[in-house]
Amino acid sequence: MKTPLPKTFHIGGYWRGPNDVVRHMMLGLRAAGAEVFECNSDERREALDCEGRPYDRGTFGPAWLRWNVLRASIEQFQPDLIVCNAGGLSFRPEIAERLRRSTRLLGISLSDPDVFAPATSSIALNFDLFLTNAPACVSDYQALGVNVMELPPATNAEFFQPVAARPELDCEVLVIGRAHLDRIEPVRRIAERFRLHLYGEGWESHSRGSVYGDDLLLRLELRSNCPDFRTDGGPVMRFQREGCLTFLRRGRWWPPNGSGGWSDTCGLTAKSSVFIPPKPEAVRRAGRQRVLSQHTWKMVWPRIVEELPHKGTPGC
pLDDT in tens, 103-125: 999 999 998 888 999 999 999 99
Buried b / exposed e over 247-260, threshold 16 CB at 10 Å, is: bbbbbebbbeebee
- As a whole number of angstroms, the distance between CA 27 and CA 188 comes to 37
pLDDT in tens, 125-160: 999 999 999 888 999 999 999 999 999 878 766 666
| Of 128 and 184, the one with more pLDDT | 128
Tell me, what amino acid is at 279?
K
pLDDT in tens, 200-217: 778 887 788 877 666 665
Residue 7's φ and ψ, nearest 5 degrees, are -65, 120
Confidence of residue 278 (pLDDT cuts 50, 70, 90): low
What is the secondary structure of 46-83 as a DSSP string? GGEE-TTS---TTSSS-EEE-HHHHHHHHHHH--SEEE
Angle 21-31/297-306 helices, nearest 10 degrees? 80
| Of 303 and 275, the one with more pLDDT | 303
pLDDT surpasses 90 at 90: yes
- What is the β-pairing status of strands 148-150 and 173-176? unpaired
Q: What is the pLDDT of residue 208?
A: 84
Q: What is the pLDDT of residue 249?
A: 32
- As a whole number of angstroms, the distance between CA 20 and CA 170 comes to 24
- As a whole number of angstroms, the distance between CA 129 and CA 146 comes to 8
Residue 16's φ and ψ, nearest 5 degrees, are -95, 15
pLDDT surpasses 50 at 43: yes
**SS3 at position 31:** helix
H helix intervals, the chain: 21-31, 67-77, 93-99, 121-123, 138-143, 181-193, 213-220, 236-243, 280-294, 297-306
- As a whole number of angstroms, the distance between CA 196 and CA 190 comes to 7
Buried b / exposed e over 64-80, threshold 16 CB at 10 Å, is: bbebeebeeebeebebb
CB 11 within 8 A of CB 26: no
8-state DSSP, 215: H
- As a whole number of angstroms, the distance between CA 255 and CA 57 comes to 27
Domains defined along the chain, listed by start? 8-154+297-306 (3.40.50), 167-294 (3.40.50)
Q: What is the pLDDT of residue 121?
A: 97
Q: Which residues, other chains included, contact 230 with Cβ-Cβ below 8 Å and sequence gap of 6+?
A: 177, 255, 258, 260, 261, 262
CB 224 within 8 A of CB 248: no
8-state DSSP, 265: G
- As a whole number of angstroms, the distance between CA 169 and CA 301 comes to 34
